Amino acid sequence: MRRAAVLLGAAAVLLGAGILILASGNALRWQAEMAARTTARPGPDEAATGEIAPRTPITTERPAFKSGGERQSASRAIEAEEGAEATPDAEGLERIEPRAALSEIGQALPPKPKMPDEWKGTRLFQPVATAAGLLEAKGYKIAVAGVEPVMPDETCVSSGRAWPCGARARAAFRAWLRGRSVTCTVPPEADRETIVAACLVGKEDAAAWLVENGWARAAPAGDYAALGEVAAQARKGIFGPPPSTSAPAASVAGSDLPAPAESGTAILAAPLADPAEAAAPDLPAPPPVPDGPLGAFPTPPAPPPAPAE
């Protein structure tokens, strides 16, 4: 019984090996047939004539190395051929404008400019007053808002006498600024044109100072019209007389300051006739001049005697 079982197992092993050999042979035969059909597939002309032209044999050799210039020229030639094939016939074509974007999301839009109401005060250093109410600083030309500037060449008449009030008003405006920085509501970027803007020096309004002191006229129906009327009635600045250039007034009674010299009197006293009168009488007489040449040294004392040995 044991021998019969061994024989049956060996027979089963041999049968399985035979089945595997047959299956692998069929697979190899199928692959060969498919390769033959692929390499010997007839073209359109060959299908009509029934003849199969010889195919180019497959080679495993690597192509020759090409330099960078050769590769670029080859790629340009291929692109030119593809472009020539893809170029359509230009006849009958019409260029149209591109359509508008479906949405503004994701597009690079220019920044939205700020309106004058959104401008904040910009500090301008070292301003230069070109007129009473006009100044330049940091590339800006600014006219103080709320006033009418007084130009330097303007003249005013007071009691029939003309005087250069424009130059005097500019000098007063410069003295008030004293090179201090001003804060004006100007646009973010400097403009070549003159900009009308409100300006502050510290916490003091420049327009209010000009109108209150009479160095500029208030704009009609403006915020400083009342101050302008008060300055005109008080005859301040350009509304008043020219600045005085005469001698100072006499001292007030009871003051310790001396009174100024009267007109026509000499400020310095006349020189004395005799120079000897200028010396004070109570001064002592000068010492007598010693005999001998001036500047001679006195005779030195005799040396002491030598000690006895």
CATH of the domain at 189: 2.40.50.90
Confidence of residue 216 (pLDDT cuts 50, 70, 90): very high
- Residue 235 is assigned to a structural domain of this protein: yes
Asked if 84 and 77 touch (Cβ cutoff 8 Å), the reply is no
- Residue 136 is assigned to a structural domain of this protein: yes
- Residue 185 is assigned to a structural domain of this protein: yes
- Residue 294 is assigned to a structural domain of this protein: no
pLDDT of residue 74: 79
Q: How confident is the model over 75-90, as pLDDT tens digits?
A: 788 777 766 655 555 6
- With the C-alpha atoms ordered 82, 87, 88, 89, is the resulting torsion angle positive or negative? negative
From 30-34, 144-148, 294-298, the region with the lowest mean pLDDT: 294-298
- Residue 97 is assigned to a structural domain of this protein: no
- Token pair listed for 84: 């020539």
> What per-residue string of b and e applies to 132-143 under the rule 16 or more CB within 10 Å gives b?
bbbbebbebbbb
Q: How confident is the model over 146-181, as pLDDT tens digits?
A: 999 999 999 999 888 899 999 999 999 999 999 899
- Residue 78 is assigned to a structural domain of this protein: no
Its domain, for residue 137, covers 118-239
pLDDT of residue 248: 54
What is the total count of domains within the chain?
A: 1
- Residue 291 is assigned to a structural domain of this protein: no
- Residue 273 is assigned to a structural domain of this protein: no
Q: How confident is the model over 241-281, as pLDDT tens digits?
A: 887 765 555 555 555 656 655 555 555 555 555 555 555 55
